Structure 1
Amino acid sequence: MQWIVLVVSGLLEAVWATALGRSEGLHRLTPTIVFFVALFLSMAGLAYAMRDLPTGSSYAVWVGIGATGAVAYGMATGAEAAGLAKILCVIAIVGGVIGLKLVS
């Protein structure tokens, strides 16, 4: 159960990071609300998962999922350039996250 919560929390990290970028310095209302709600839920989920999972692995997986999600969203929407090198780096992050899950 903690791993599921951790993955969802990582996805919410991508949501709040994206919303923060769209909020224009917390000046646009809707993205700012999405940012704060997703931030709270993401942190609460991380805290819950860390009750039973190792801190280092939990944090690395959470950040990895969030970073990968934010970059993937940016590439999918065209807000960020998608090149082979960038895609290979994202794949390396995903591989590291999967590796941490397998050894934990």
Structure 2
Amino acid sequence: MHWMLLIIAGLFEVGFATCLGKAKLSVGSVAAWWYVGFVVSLSISMLLLMKASESIPIGTAYAVWTGIGAAGTVLVGIFLFKEPVTFWRIFFITTLIASIVGLKYVAN
């Protein structure tokens, strides 16, 4: 159960990073709504990370949380913000994901 909360927390981390990116491209009330989305996503992400770390070691939980957020944000950048897709970006995202999976298997 705590691993599922951690994964959802990581997805909300992607959400708050995406909201920041969209707010940067917006103006006025549209930007304000993206900032509201940022605050809501950030709050949910932190609460779920806090809950997940009750039974997962904090070092592992934080590494997995940031890894999901980093990999997800890069993918959002590629698909939503048209950021460049290069061999090395994909290579390192793949190694990051492999590391996240590895941490899950070696956690107590």
Band the TM-score falls in, shorter-chain normalisation:
over 0.9
Amino acid at match of 1:11: L
- CA shift for structure 1 position 78: 4.4
Alpha-carbon distance between aligned partners in 2 of 1:11 and 1:4, rounded to the nearest angstrom: 11
Please state if 1:36 is matched with 2:62.
no
Alpha-carbon distance between aligned partners in 2 of 1:82 and 1:24, rounded to the nearest angstrom: 21
Instruction: Tell me the residue number matched to 2:64.
Output: 61
Give the number of aligned pairs.
104
| CA deviation vs aligned residue, 1:19-53 (integer Å, no higher than 9, x gap) | 11221299611211110000000000000000111
Which stretches in structure 2 are left out of the alignment for 5+ residues? none
RMSD: 1.6
* Larger-Rg structure: 2
Query: Structure 1 residue runs of 4+, over 6 Å off?
Result: none
Please state if 1:100 is matched with 2:90.
no
| Larger CA deviation: 22-31 vs 74-83 | 22-31
Please state if 1:88 is matched with 2:91.
yes
Identity within the alignment, %: 35
Does the CA-based 8 Å contact 1:16-1:35 persist in structure 2? yes
Alpha-carbon distance between aligned partners in 1 of 2:42 and 2:102, rounded to the nearest angstrom: 26
